[in-house]
Chain A
Amino acid sequence: MDFSDADLGAVWLTLRLATVTTVLLLLVGTPVAWWLARTRSRWKGPVGAVVALPLVLPPTVLGFYLLVAMGPHGPVGQLTQWLGLGTLPFTFPGLVVASVVYSMPFVVQPVQNAFEAVGDRPLEVAATLRASPLDRFFTVALPLARPGFITASILGFAHTVGEFGVVLMIGGNIPGVTRVVSVQIYDHVEALEYGEAHWLAGMLMAFSFVVLLALYGFRPGRWQR
C-alpha cells in the first residue's frame, strides 16, 4: 500500500464529512420529505424543484452561490458572524453545510417516495387505534418507509464522498480541514504523482461500485429519481 499521511488524512476527513452530512441530511431531509409526500399545498412543486436543483446545477454554480451567501457580506455569513461563529467558507462546518445542500435530493427523494408508497391508509388505521400524529409517524410511517431510508443513507453518503466542485469552491484545499479525497487526487495529478493518484482513485472506484451494487443488486428497481 502506498498511502501517505496526507492521503490517509484526506480519507479520514472524507469519511467524517460524509458521515456528519448523512446524519444531518436524515434529520433535515426527513421532515422535508414528509411534507412533500403529504402536502396538498401549491408550494409542493416549487419546494420540490428547489430540493432537486443540485441534480442539474454544475457544482461550481452551487458552490459559488453558497460561497457568496456564507461570505462576510452574505446573509448566512452575517448571521454566523452575529452569532459569533465567524464565517463558514474554508472551514469543516462550511463544507458540511455545502454538502448538505448538495446531497439533499439524494436523501429527500427516496424518503419522499417511500412515504408516498406508505399511503394514507396505515396512518388512518393507526389513528383509529388511538395513535397521535407524532406517534403514527414514529411507529407506522418510519418503519414502513425503512427501505427508503436505507437507500437515502447510502446515496447521501456516497454522493458526499464523490463531491469535488462544491468542495473546491467552499473549502479550498486545506490539509486536514477541507482537503477531501477527491481534492487530494486532483493535487496528486497536478503534481504528476500518478501512482498516488491511482491508489486513491482506485479506492474510490471500488467503494462506489460496492455501494451501488448493494443498492441495485439487493433491491432491484426500488430507487427512482
Chain B
Amino acid sequence: MAALGADAIRAVFRLGWPGFTLDVDLTLPGRGVTGLFGPSGSGKTTVLRCVAGLERAPGGLLTVAGEVWQDGERFVPTHRRPLGYVFQEASLFPHLSVRRNLEFGLKRVPAAQRRVSLERAIELLGIGHLLDRRPDHLSGGERQRAGLARALAVSPRLLLMDEPLAALDHARRRELLPYLERLHEELTVPVLYVSHAPDEVARLADHVVVMDGGRAVASGPLTETLARLDLPVRLGEDAGVVLEAVIGKRDSDWSLARADFPGGGLWVEDTGLPVGRRVRVRILARDVSLALERPEHTSIQNLLPGQVAEVRGETQPALTLVRVQVGDSPVIARITRRSTAQLGLVPGKRVWVQVKAVALIG
C-alpha cells in the first residue's frame, strides 16, 4: 500500500462471531473523506465501531495521526478518543433540547482542545433556529444535521459517519448532502464515511475502501478504485467512474458548460457554476458506448478518443465491462459481449468513447 504520510490512519482488526468474520488491515489517508463502501453485512459499520472503540477486536491495532488508540497492550476507551461519531438513525438525546444536546459533548472537551466553536458548528449545519426545540419536534433531516453539529462541536480529530443519510427519504437526503459537502470543503478533519450508496461515495469520498464479506477487497483513491473492473463487489447499474474536473468554459447560447478533466472535456448542463470551479463528474458505464471510428452526425455531444485498457465479463453473460483510457483518465463502458467481439476490442485498441450522460456531482 502506498505511503500516506505520518498523519495516516492504520487500522488492523480481526474479530469473529457466528456467521461473520472481520479481517481488515487498512492504511488510510489522514485527510479528506474515506468512503467505506460495500453491501450490507460486509463489515463496514463494524470497522467504524472498532475505530470508535465501541467494539473490541482483541489484538487489533489502531493509530490515528501517530497516536495509538489500540494495540496489544492498550485500549483507549471510546470516551477518551478525540473522535466524533454520527450514527445512522437520529441519536439525539430525547430528554435534552437541541442546544443541550450540542453542549453535551462540547462541555466535556477541555477548553484548550476546542477548535470548532459551537457557533461555527451551528452555522455550518444551519440549525440556529432549532436550538430550543426537543428532538421529537424535528424532521429526520434536521435531527441528522443536529447530530452532525453535535459531533463537530467536540472538535474531533477524526469524524466517523455511519450511513448518516440511510434513514432519510430521497428529499431529505438531497437536503443534507450539500451540508456534508460543505464539511468536506471547509473542515480539515479526516472523515471515515460508511455507505452502501455508490452515489454518496462518488460525491463525497476522496479515498475508497471497498468491503465485502468482512474483508477490504480494495483501497485507493476514488477515481482509480471505481475504475477497477476486478472488484468482486459488482455495482451493476451503478458501475461507472468519477472524474475530478474543472469548469473550463461556458456556452450560454446552449446552456452548456465544459468540464475539463485530465484527458479531455465533457459538455454538461450549465448549472451556473463559474469557470474555474472544481467539480466531480460521474459517468455510468451503462451510458458509455464505443465506436472504432469517429461517429459523424450523432446527437451525442461528448466524443472522446481513447485506448482500450482492459476487458472483463460482467456477471450477466451478455455483457462486458471495458475500461478505456482517455488521456490520463479511465472511463468504463458496459456493452454487450457480442459488440466486444464484433469490434475486436482488446487491450491497446484505439476507440471513440461516446458518453450519453454525465452527472455533475459536487
Contacts and interface: CB of A to CB of B under 8 A. Distances in A.
Interface stretch (A60-68, A71-79, A124-132): A124-132
B109 A125 contact: no
Nearest to B106: A129
Taking each of A125, A129, A130, A143, which has the highest tally of chain B beta carbons within 10 Å of its own beta carbon?
Answer: A129
Contacts of A126: 79, 93, 104
Interface residues of B, number: 23
Interface string A135-167: 110011001100000000000000000000000
B54 A124 contact: yes
Nearest to B156: A128
Given A126-B104, A144-B95, A132 B85 contact: no
A176 B94 CA distance: 47
Contact of A132 (B79, B94, B150): B79
A131 B79 contact: yes
Contacts of B78: 124, 127-128
Interface string A115-134: 00000011011111111110
Contact of A128 (B84, B93, B94): B84
Nearest to B81: A128
Contact of B77 (A127, A129, A139, A144): A127
A interface, over-half SS: helix
26 contacts: A121-B87, A122-B93, A124-B78, A125-B93, A126-B93, A126-B104, A127-B53, A127-B54, A127-B77, A128-B52, A128-B78, A128-B79, A128-B83, A128-B151, A129-B104, A130-B79, A130-B80, A130-B109, A130-B154, A131-B104, A131-B108, A136-B79, A139-B104, A143-B95, A144-B93, A144-B94
Interface of B: 52-54, 77-80, 83-85, 87, 91, 93-95, 104-105, 108-109, 150-151, 154, 160
Interface of A: 121-122, 124-133, 135-136, 139-140, 143-144
